């Protein structure tokens, strides 16, 4: 398949959670999670990272809604506002609900141009909204997301060779179940909270994925200040 290399890089509690009260006591990693994927000195060299709609709402668009012009029309197909950025933040948003205010995001010291992944059923009004802000979008799939097509477009149109699958759990599992993730990189923080309500590193959702198990082969283990970095190959 013509697609970038995909690694899933996540920070979790000892009980496998990716957000929640455990974060209030600090993960204790001193920026190790960021360093390995985002810094020049880290292990990975990626051109973009991919997030689910919920992760983007929580971390970047703050649950804002877009201002739409219902009379707007746009040409069919993809829209590329900027294919020269050093890094890209890619969000799945098949329903077109993310209320962006600018075409870039900042995460730590990383500055990235936003790319939205839509489907044919995403409305013209939302596409026009993205164009008005200067946000690129790729159309992948008719009614449902065609994830292999999205990845091949990221490679062909933006030259991406390596992409980080950056959560949340719903996105991660849907890509792993489709055989679209090559490697899992877990930073296991020395903290837990037992919360029954917070998302886990993987979550099946009817229509997107199932609960048939997947096996992993451990390829590397490192430890720093009680945080453990586990890397696995994902068995097909
Ligand atoms: N600790 C970490 O390293 C880390 C990293 C990232 C995120 N997080 C946290 O994770 C939490 C969110 O995780 P989550 O699992 O609840 O949600 P998520 O994966 O961020 O978003 C799920 C949504 O994304 C869309 N989506 C994902 N995969 C799709 C697919 N294959 N096809 C079509 N649509 C797809 C769907 O949106 P629609 O419902 O619009 O269809 C789905 O409901 C946040 O609290 C965030 O802060 C933690």
Domain boundaries, the chain: 7-46+165-193+200-236, 48-160
Provide the sign of the torsion angle of the four alpha carbons 37, 133, 117, 156, taken in this order. negative
- β-strands 110-118, 216-224 pairing: unpaired
Q: What is the pTM of this model?
A: 0.97
Asked if residue 8 has its Cβ within 6 Å of ligand 1, the reply is: no
Burial (Cβ within 10 Å: 0-12, 13-18, ≥19) of residue 223: exposed
Q: Which atom of ligand 1 is nearest to the CA of 209?
A: 31
Q: Which atom of ligand 1 is nearest to the CA of 174?
A: 31
Asked if residue 147 has its Cβ within 6 Å of ligand 1, the reply is: yes
The residue to mutate among 21, 171, 181, having the most atoms of ligand 1 within 8 angstroms of its beta carbon, is: 171
Report the distance separating Cα 143 and Cα 120, nearest Å: 6
Coil/strand/helix, residue 21: helix
Tens-digit pLDDT string for the chain (236 aa) = 799 999 999 999 999 999 999 999 877 778 999 999 999 999 999 999 999 999 999 999 999 999 999 999 999 999 999 889 999 999 999 999 999 999 999 999 999 999 999 999 999 999 999 999 999 999 999 999 999 999 999 999 999 999 999 999 999 999 999 999 999 999 999 999 999 999 999 999 999 999 999 999 999 999 999 999 999 999 97
Q: With beta carbons less than 8 A apart as the criterion, state whether 180 and 236 touch.
A: no
CATH class of the domain defined by 7-46+165-193+200-236: alpha beta
Report the distance separating Cα 173 and Cα 156, nearest Å: 24
Closest Cα partner for 57 from 21, 93, 94? 93
């Amino acid at each position: 398949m013509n697609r970038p290399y995909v690694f899933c890089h996540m920070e979790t509690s000892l009980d496998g959670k990716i957000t929640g009260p455990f974060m209030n006591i600090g993960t204790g990693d001193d920026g190790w999670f960021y360093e390995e994927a985002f810094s020049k000195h880290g292990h990975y060299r990626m051109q973009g990272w991919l997030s689910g709609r919920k992760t983007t709402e929580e971390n970047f668009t703050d649950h804002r809604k877009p201002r739409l012009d219902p009379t707007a029309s746009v040409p069919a197909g993809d829209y590329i506002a900027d294919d020269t950025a050093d890094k890209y933040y890619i969000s799945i948003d098949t329903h077109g609900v993310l209320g962006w205010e600018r075409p870039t995001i900042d995460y730590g010291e990383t500055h990235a141009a936003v790319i939205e992944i839509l489907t044919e059923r995403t409305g013209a009004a939302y596409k026009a909204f993205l164009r008005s802000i200067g946000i690129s979008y790729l159309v992948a799939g008719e009614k449902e997301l065609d994830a292999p097509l999205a990845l091949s477009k990221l490679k062909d149109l933006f030259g991406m060779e390596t992409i980080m699958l950056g959560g949340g759990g719903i996105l991660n599992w849907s890509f792993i179940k489709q055989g679209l993730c090559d490697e899992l990189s877990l930073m296991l923080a020395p903290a837990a909270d037992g919360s029954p309500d917070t998302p886990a590193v993987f979550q099946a959702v009817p229509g997107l994925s199932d609960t048939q198990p997947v096996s992993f082969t451990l390829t590397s283990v490192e430890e720093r200040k009680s945080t453990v970095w586990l890397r696995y190959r994902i068995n097909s």
